Structure 1
Amino acid sequence: MQNYTKEHLSLYVFIAVILITGVVFGAVMVNALTLEQKQEIGRHLGSFLQSVDQGLSEGNRDTFFAGLLMHWKWVLLIWIFGLSVIGLPLILVLDFLKGVLIGFTVGYMIGQYSWKGMLFALAGVVPQNMIVLPVIVVCSVTAMSFSLDMIKQRFWQRSGTVVPPFMRYSLTTAVMAMLLIAASIYEAFLSPAVLKWVSPMLTVAQAG
């Protein structure tokens, strides 16, 4: 494990920097929104808050499976891109986009509602992403490592079989995908209850 960590530490740092850059970029994007765009987002947010207050977004199996499928699609894309050299840049693009989405969401909430927006982000965005982001980092590093190993084996070593590395790569991705079940459980069953407690504060702020 120590040898693995040392060998791939640079990749972990690199992927983490890509994600952080995406988060910062997403937060900065909020400042580039026009007034009309902010009003449109505000209307959608208002509808969501109203549904939360009325209990329409309370946890159910459909919400759980929809969220889990979305997370799994993201991991599946990373796994597919890791199978070829061409996919390496696309893995970085996916990581950057994930960071942008999170940064934009949190940045908008804080920019519009100050500390109340921060509270909303802490309740509805941060908890599940404490699972999702590490999973994406591990999957991305594993995918890039597998792809680079295949390049070395093909052009330099010219020996060995691809089956054991592929099985380790696929198994690691599958284990990480299973961890996303916890994130989807929070999104579907715990987050609505927490947001129902927070949403009245945002509703008042939005009305003001």
Structure 2
Amino acid sequence: MWKQLGEHIRQYWVIYLTLSSVYLAGVVFGTVGVGALGVPETSQLGKFLDMLLKSQPTTFEPTFLGQLARDMFIMMAGIWILGLTIIGAPLIYLIVFTRGFILGFAVSFIIGVKGTLGIALILTTVLVPTIFAIPLLLLGAGLATIFSFLLLRGKARGESLRREFLYYTAAAAFVSIGAVAVGVAQGYFSILGLRLLRL
């Protein structure tokens, strides 16, 4: 499986490089966006962050973990659906950029507001799930983009893409399962981090 994955990425490396660049651009813009906030906005968002941290569960509640898993599944399912359309590629790139922006903004804001505590919060709650979430997001987006391009080419040539569709759906389902697992892991790390830091 890993060999096939490596061959797939080598074959479509341009698409994955582009997606990675878009994600990185989102992270950079999100980080810069924090600096553009005024004092009132920063204060208001700081209060919202404090309220959010206090509302986070400190025990492993199935409802909380299930919500995070559903959010990840909905995002991956949306990317899969966009891959089934010829015009879906730009929206896929927009999703990737937005996810990068959210990460860059959140990390920069939390560290800026909480200081050393914010760094500890990021390391204990965000770092590990993000390490796995980013590759899964890029892989799912890459598969969707590739199939969208195949649809465009197949429509122009009048080709049937039944086999490619089955491969795409199976691969997307596998990636989605991984994303759901990451969503659950994110909940566990969030709870453990808050308990460890006594927030």
Q: State TM-score, norm by structure 1.
A: 0.86
User: Is 1:174 the equivalent of 2:173?
Assistant: yes
- Note if contact 1:60-1:188 (Cα within 8 Å) is conserved in structure 2: no
Deviation string, structure 1 residues 50-103 (Cα, Å, up to 9, x no partner)? 445xxx442211011100111111111111111112111000000000001111
Q: Following TM superposition, where does structure 1 have runs of at least 4 consecutive aligned residues deviating by more than 4 angstroms?
A: none
- Note if contact 1:21-1:96 (Cα within 8 Å) is conserved in structure 2: yes
User: For 2:88 and 2:55, how far apart are their aligned partners in 1?
Assistant: 40
Q: Any unmatched runs of 5+ in structure 1?
A: 201-208
- Equivalent residue runs for 1:21-40 within 5 Å: 21-40=25-44
User: For 2:11 and 2:151, how far apart are their aligned partners in 1?
Assistant: 16
Residue matched to 1:206:
none
User: Is 1:115 the equivalent of 2:119?
Assistant: no
Deviation string, structure 1 residues 144-174 (Cα, Å, up to 9, x no partner)? 1111112222214x33x22110111111111
Tell which deviates more after alignment, 114-123 or 172-181: 114-123
Residue matched to 1:193:
192
Residue matched to 1:96:
97
Identity fraction in percent: 23
Residue matched to 1:203:
none
- Note if contact 1:135-1:179 (Cα within 8 Å) is conserved in structure 2: yes
- Note if contact 2:70-2:180 (Cα within 8 Å) is conserved in structure 1: no
User: Is 1:66 the equivalent of 2:67?
Assistant: yes
Residue matched to 1:11:
15
User: For 2:63 and 2:55, how far apart are their aligned partners in 1?
Assistant: 16
User: Is 1:153 the equivalent of 2:157?
Assistant: no
Deviation string, structure 1 residues 157-202 (Cα, Å, up to 9, x no partner)? x33x2211011111111101111232222233332122222255xx
Residue 4 to residue 185, structure 1, CA distance change in 2 (3 Å): closer
Residue matched to 1:204:
none
User: For 2:99 and 2:55, how far apart are their aligned partners in 1?
Assistant: 26
Q: State TM-score, norm by structure 2.
A: 0.90
Residue 32 to residue 150, structure 1, CA distance change in 2 (3 Å): same
Q: How many residues align?
A: 195
- Note if contact 1:58-1:188 (Cα within 8 Å) is conserved in structure 2: no
